Amino acid sequence: MATTTRTPTLADDLKPLHHPKTWIGKYVWSQDHKVIAIQYAATAIGIGIVALVLSAMMRLQLGFPDTFRFIQPENYLQAVTMHGMIMVVYLLTAILLGGFGNYLIPLMVGARDMVFPYVNMLSYWVYLLAVIVLAASFFVPGGPTGAGWTLYPPQTILEGTPGHEWGIILMLLSLAIFIVGFTMGGLNYVVTVLQARAKGMTLMRMPCSVWGIFVASIMALLAFPALFVACIMMLLDRLLGTSFFMPAIMSMGTDVGYEGGSPILFQHLFWFFGHPEVYIVALPAFGIVSDLISVHARKNIFGYRMMVWAIVIIGALSFFVWAHHMYVSGMNPYFGFFFATSTLIIAIPTAIKVYNWLLTLWRGDIHLTVPMLFAIGFLFTFIHGGLSGLFLGNVSVDVPLSDTFFVIGHFHMVMGVSPILVIFGAIYHWYPLITGRMWNVAVAKWHFWITFLGVYAIFLPMHYLGILGVPRRYFALGETAFIPPSAHLANQMITIAALIVFFAQLLFFWNMIWSLFWGKKTPPNPWGAASLEWQTPDVPPAHGNWGPKLPVVHRWAYDYSVPGAPRDFIPQNEPHTDLTKAHAT
């Protein structure tokens, strides 16, 4: 009888690990993916708090103009720019890929660590350097750049724009450093998924969280180079006087010496990165929320293969929609038609995911735990934000709404609030695994309800303001004829709601820190999850994750409520029995 031999993989490599001998080796220059994940998350949250403070400053000015003397027009524009860039790149991308990607991938696929632990360590320190360079722009002459988070030339580097000297240089340099760091991390994530899976862990047995992070990493490796070259070219325009993006232009009545550059070229490069970036953030959130819903509804994910292919298709299509951000830049109507059509097409696999989440909840044994509350909250905000995106994908509707608060409301519901709700839910879900302790449930529920209701009070009225034509990025609206008094009242109410949500986040930080020291110790698998990360010999997992022997995977990650099984979940590494064999995937 013929026999087949399996090609050895990294999962077969059982050489002993090199364990760190010192505190610095274990917690500072650590090569353990779990420590690196916490370093990424802590740094991202730290710089994210700066962005949150900047948003509060913006809201104070919009809600109560001419009240706070420390907020001047240049400070407002700088706050707009730094808030946007920090939140999109340095917080969301870093925490979802660098934080959750690092922590979850090896544990969920049954690996001891990332394939390249030393490179993984370097990726974090390069990211930290990028954050330090960005933060340094607050302390240089002229302050950080105030060109808007999209950094459009020519105004970005012209005199009169806040931070046009040192601020923009440090911003562009920081982005370039960030991309170098992410490239090291992203390659690690992709290779680990492809080469270090445990025996039996086929691609179609991986949890949706791994699929989301895996596809997002591939997308980032393809999209970030466009932003990298744009940053280098603009740095050359600023420092050496080249004219990649700078046309012949007069500034303050003086010829500034540029000629022949194309500002539109920068917009194409930026948005070729920028729209995939939306899904670089969204796809890990999609995967994580799929796992949260399945675990806490005690039901297998509906249409798993369809969900996986939807992730892949969304990732591919996201590279063909970038110019819908550029309708107001002027383009051939045929191009406008193409990008409007591709924008609507990408809504199809996204809608499939929404339907599958709802069908997973349908007739499930729903446990309204805090992670589940945040997952359901995500469904609301993402659906509402996505529906407003259908308006902006249409050329004739987008042009009058493009520079209004409608875009702010849509973008924050989809790209800001929705992923952050998933991040909160994920932190609450995996906190017992990371620390071995449980947080305070009552405080966590207060945190959810204030945050969830508060974000609707903030961003839903912005759609109304946008339809009125209230422009975005304006320091003060003044007595503008077409803006009714209701708009000013709405801005005041939005500011009050934003400040409440801002201070409510103190509940989260208090809960996490207090529980780390005094929280109740949890059992090894408090949620009854079937995926591999909850099946480690130690909680929290030790260095190397699995002890002397790696797990062997026998089924998918979603065997919940299987008829005839002794428990309402079957772990991935539990062998088949006569009762469960028919349900194996």
Calpha distance 313→283 (Å, rounded): 11
The domain containing residue 182 runs over which residues?
A: 28-246+259-563
576 belongs to a structural domain: no
Quick: pLDDT tens for 29-50: 899 999 999 999 999 999 999 9
Quick: pLDDT tens for 496-511: 999 999 999 999 999 9
Could you tell me the pLDDT band of residue 578, with boundaries at 50, 70 and 90? low
3 belongs to a structural domain: no
Quick: pLDDT tens for 284-311: 999 999 999 999 999 999 999 999 999 9
18 belongs to a structural domain: no
Could you tell me the pLDDT band of residue 3, with boundaries at 50, 70 and 90? very low
pLDDT at 28: 85
pLDDT at 329: 87
pLDDT at 2: 46
Calpha distance 209→530 (Å, rounded): 13
pLDDT at 15: 61
Total domains in the chain come to: 1
Examine residue 485 and say whether the peptide bond preceding it is cis (omega within 30 degrees of 0). Answer: no
Q: What is the pLDDT averaged over residues 357-363?
A: 95
Calpha distance 210→194 (Å, rounded): 11
Whether the predicted pLDDT of 171 surpasses 90: yes
28, containing H or E segment: none
pLDDT at 317: 95
Q: What is the pLDDT averaged over residues 380-405?
A: 92
pLDDT at 440: 96
DSSP output for 81-136: HHHHHIIIIIIIIIIIIIIIIHHHHHHHHT-SS-S-HHHHHHHHHHHHHHHHHHHH
What's the one-letter identity of residue 568? D
Q: What is the pLDDT averaged over residues 53-64?
A: 96
Q: What is the pLDDT averaged over residues 465-480?
A: 90
With H, G, I as helix, E, B as strand and everything else as coil, classify residue 153.
coil
Whether the predicted pLDDT of 25 surpasses 90: no
Torsion sign over Cα 463, 467, 472, 477: negative
543 belongs to a structural domain: yes
The β-bridge relationship of strands 254-255 and 250-251 is antiparallel
Q: What is the pLDDT averaged over residues 446-469?
A: 96
Calpha distance 528→311 (Å, rounded): 26
What is the CATH number for 333? 1.20.210.10
Whether the predicted pLDDT of 1 surpasses 60: no
14 belongs to a structural domain: no
Could you tell me the pLDDT band of residue 4, with boundaries at 50, 70 and 90? very low
**What is the biggest distance separating any 2 CA atoms in the chain, rounded to whole angstroms?**
88
Nearest CA among 279, 277, 281 for reference residue 223: 277
20 belongs to a structural domain: no
365 belongs to a structural domain: yes
